[in-house]
Amino acid sequence: MKRIVLFFTAIAVFSLGAHAQSKDFSLGKWVEVNNAILKELNRSYVDSLQVGRIERAGINAMLEALDPYTLYIPEEEQEDFQMMLNSAYGGVGAIIYKPDVQGNVVINEPYEGSPAALAGLRCGDEVVAIDGQAAAGLTSAECSEKMRGKPGTTVVLTVKKLRVGESWKAGDVLEVPVVRRRIVLPSMEYAGMLNEADGYIYLSKFTEGVGQEIRDAYKELKTKGMKRLVLDLRGNGGGIMGEAVNIVSLFIPKGSVVVSAKGKAATEQVYKTTTDPVDTEIPIVVLVDNASASASEIVSGALQDYDRATIIGTRTYGKGLVQSIRPLPYDGQLKLTTAKYYTPSGRCVQAIDYSHRNEDGSVGHIPDSLTHAFTTAHGRTVRDGGGITPDFIVKPHKYSRLTYSLVYSGVIEQYALDYVRAHERIPALEDFHFTDYEEFIAFAKDKEFDYRSSARALFDEMKKSLEEDGLTEALSGELNALQKSLEMDKETFLRLKKEEIVPFIEEEIAVRYYFQQAGIRVRLRYDDQLHEALKQPAISWN
């Protein structure tokens, strides 16, 4: 019997060794073949070979076969990558608008407290030249690149002023030196009181240090009488896992598991709270939607698992993968998926299984029938396999196709700039309400944008299909009648959708007079999902 056991043990060891050798052989073979192909292309291809382009295309195709989050970042793209990672760059701190290549650069939104704002640049000012080079003839991206640079360096902007100032008239052209600075776009974009009892924090991403910002904001809101906290993670695509842990640490006891990450060879890292909480009793509402992902799901999942918060909104995105940065030769970097993360109850929220693809290479969501049940600290059932399901489903307002078109085509943005040119000031934000809608209609009706209703867009698609099938002539009577009933001119449609368009105009205008936080405050006025969430009963899961 002992000999039989030894025999099977030997087979197992040999099989493992053979498997390892097989993987090493396959990798070595692939590298050798890849190099041979490049050499032969370089030697014999009929046209001049753009080696850099085809190598990058090959790398991208290889990584795309894994998942959307594993990326190669060469040296020349490091600055953009750091901007994406940390929301920071060296520059003047302003959003610019360039209506056409031959025109000047228009200052659209200077950030509050930025070098641009401190230098007196305001919305509507035109940048005629950057360091002596005319803006006319440059693209918007080229102008932006020239305005960026190493913090501490100076860029001289030739500016045509929109408004009268202390030492200039409207229309004067001035040389404005601006000292570049490290511009950090805020992750905690707003914190304030919604009413006498409800404090509100809007977090758009998880960047370094944001946990401390939330801690400070929480303490400030408590001094203002906050009795319930609303943490808004809608649209938050994630960021640094450690900052998610820091935020959860504010509300649950020290030493509690927040998230665990399991990578290759079943290795597991467990992340626990390491600081004393600021409050383990205050009711918390966490707002989420289908764009809340990664670190947002760590926070909402942990607080849900500990029955510490009420999660309200719609199901989150379902990104349960962890990425790490690895150095590569020639100062490149590889951002690759190294683990899956799990909430305290054991849930993995990953919605898409990238390791099992269909024959055509596509991937699908994990069906609800294959998900598993887990229990929270007080015995409630929660499930894995597809994001965080809220405790209360509250759907957002559904906007018309027309409103989306006005936003994405830039018509509302262009109108806001025209409004600023015509109005030196507006009332205090609390008193400001946009009332010039007929003026907006007159502006918008002459602009090019897709003003079809959703029904009309579907009709046009259906008509194309019928044309391909040769059926339009046979159905011409019915089609003409339906088309006539769906037709609506721009002005009529704009008037019909006034109630949902006005808030977008109001927000765009407010930002240009009172900076970015003013836009959020206007948005909160009309946030039906938030207002509905506040009506939900304060639940204690204890």
Residue 359 sits in a domain whose CATH number is: 3.90.226.10
Whether residue 379 is found in the same domain as residue 428:
no
The owner of tokens 């500016």 is 159
pLDDT of residue 82 exceeding 60: yes
What DSSP string runs through 501-534? HHHHHHHHHHHHHH-HHHHHHHHHHT-HHHHHHH
Whether residue 174 is found in the same domain as residue 196:
no
Whether residue 367 is found in the same domain as residue 428:
no
What DSSP string runs through 31-70? HHHHHHHHHHHHHH-SS---HHHHHHHHHHHHHHTT-TT-
In a domain, 115, yes or no: yes
Cβ atoms of 284 and 308 within 8 Å: the answer is yes
CA distances from 457 to 404, 451, 454 (A): 14, 9, 5
Pairing state between β 105-110 and 198-203: unpaired
In a domain, 264, yes or no: yes
Q: What is the pLDDT averaged over residues 269-285?
A: 96
Phi and psi at 338, nearest 5°, equal: -120, -10
CA distances from 57 to 28, 51, 54, 65 (A): 21, 10, 5, 12
Check residues 367 and 422 and name the one with the higher pLDDT. 422
pLDDT, mean over the chain: 90
Pairing state between β 321-328 and 332-342: antiparallel
pLDDT of residue 419 exceeding 60: yes
Q: 538 pLDDT band (50/70/90 cuts)?
A: low
Whether residue 276 is found in the same domain as residue 340:
yes
- β-sheet bridge partners, residue 218: none
Q: Strand, coil or helix: what is 198?
A: strand
Q: 92 pLDDT band (50/70/90 cuts)?
A: very high
Of the residues 164, 184, 204, the one at which a domain ends = 184
pLDDT tens digits, 197-211:
999 999 999 999 999
In whole angstroms, what is the distance from residue 114 CA to residue 102 CA?
27
Whether residue 286 is found in the same domain as residue 380:
yes
Q: Strand, coil or helix: what is 317?
A: coil
pLDDT for 69: 92
Q: Which two tokens stand for residue 151?
A: 């913090």
The total of structural domains in the chain comes to: 3
Whether residue 159 is found in the same domain as residue 277:
no
The owner of tokens 């600021």 is 278
Catalytic residues: 294, 305, 319
Whether residue 332 is found in the same domain as residue 219:
yes
Q: Strand, coil or helix: what is 159?
A: strand
Of the residues 393, 413, 436, the one at which a domain ends = 393
Q: What is the pLDDT averaged over residues 297-320?
A: 96
Q: 343 pLDDT band (50/70/90 cuts)?
A: very high
Cβ atoms of 451 and 405 within 8 Å: the answer is yes
- Which class for 278: exposed (0-12), middle (13-18), buried (19 or more C-beta within 10 A)? middle
Sign (positive or negative) of CA dihedral 59, 62, 64, 67: negative
pLDDT for 362: 64
pLDDT tens digits, 118-176:
999 999 999 999 999 999 999 999 999 999 999 999 999 999 999 988 889 999 999 99
In whole angstroms, what is the distance from residue 163 CA to residue 125 CA?
8
Q: 355 pLDDT band (50/70/90 cuts)?
A: confident
Please name which of 123, 116, 135 lies closest in space to residue 176, comparing C-alpha atoms.
116
Sign (positive or negative) of CA dihedral 253, 255, 257, 258: positive
Q: 20 pLDDT band (50/70/90 cuts)?
A: low
Phi and psi at 388, nearest 5°, equal: -100, 120
Whether residue 296 is found in the same domain as residue 333:
yes
The owner of tokens 């360096």 is 153
In a domain, 379, yes or no: yes
Of the residues 117, 152, 184, the one at which a domain ends = 184
Q: Strand, coil or helix: what is 6?
A: helix
Q: 347 pLDDT band (50/70/90 cuts)?
A: very high
pLDDT for 426: 97
Q: Which two tokens stand for residue 219?
A: 């303490």
pLDDT of residue 359 exceeding 50: yes
pLDDT of residue 236 exceeding 60: yes
Cβ atoms of 493 and 405 within 8 Å: the answer is no
In a domain, 131, yes or no: yes
* Other C-beta atoms lying within 10 Å of the C-beta of residue 336: 17
Whether residue 341 is found in the same domain as residue 431:
no
pLDDT for 85: 74
pLDDT of residue 434 exceeding 90: yes
In whole angstroms, what is the distance from residue 282 CA to residue 304 CA?
14
pLDDT of residue 516 exceeding 70: yes
What b/e string do you get for 70-101 counting C-beta neighbours within 10 Å, with b at 16 or more? Answer: bbbbeeeeeeeeebebbbbbbbbbbbbbbeee
Whether residue 441 is found in the same domain as residue 389:
no
Cβ atoms of 325 and 86 within 8 Å: the answer is no
pLDDT for 17: 54
pLDDT tens digits, 436-461:
999 999 999 999 999 999 999 999 99
In a domain, 281, yes or no: yes
Most confident of 216-220, 265-269, 356-360: 216-220
pLDDT of residue 114 exceeding 60: yes
Among the ranges given (45-54, 216-225, 234-243, 396-405), the one the predictor scored with the smallest mean pLDDT: 45-54
Any idea of the CA torsion for 441, 447, 453, 459, to the nearest 10 degrees? 150
CATH assignment of the domain containing 117? 2.30.42.10
Strand spans (E) along 77-194: 88-91, 94-97, 105-110, 126-130, 133-134, 154-160, 173-179, 181-184, 188-193
Among the ranges given (180-184, 360-364, 382-386), the one the predictor scored with the smallest mean pLDDT: 360-364
Look up residue 388 and give its DSSP letter.
P
pLDDT of residue 542 exceeding 70: no
Domain range for residue 134?
Answer: 84-184
Whether residue 144 is found in the same domain as residue 208:
no
In whole angstroms, what is the distance from residue 358 CA to residue 369 CA?
19
Q: 12 pLDDT band (50/70/90 cuts)?
A: very low
Q: Which two tokens stand for residue 13?
A: 């060891």
In whole angstroms, what is the distance from residue 348 CA to residue 341 CA?
6
pLDDT for 487: 87
In a domain, 12, yes or no: no
Instruction: Give the predicted TM-score (pTM) of the model.
Output: 0.89
What does the longest C-alpha to C-alpha distance in the chain come to? 101
In a domain, 506, yes or no: yes
In whole angstroms, what is the distance from residue 179 CA to residue 91 CA?
8
- Which class for 189: exposed (0-12), middle (13-18), buried (19 or more C-beta within 10 A)? middle
Whether residue 382 is found in the same domain as residue 421:
no
Q: What is the pLDDT averaged over residues 517-527?
A: 97
In a domain, 16, yes or no: no
Q: Which two tokens stand for residue 202?
A: 């809007």
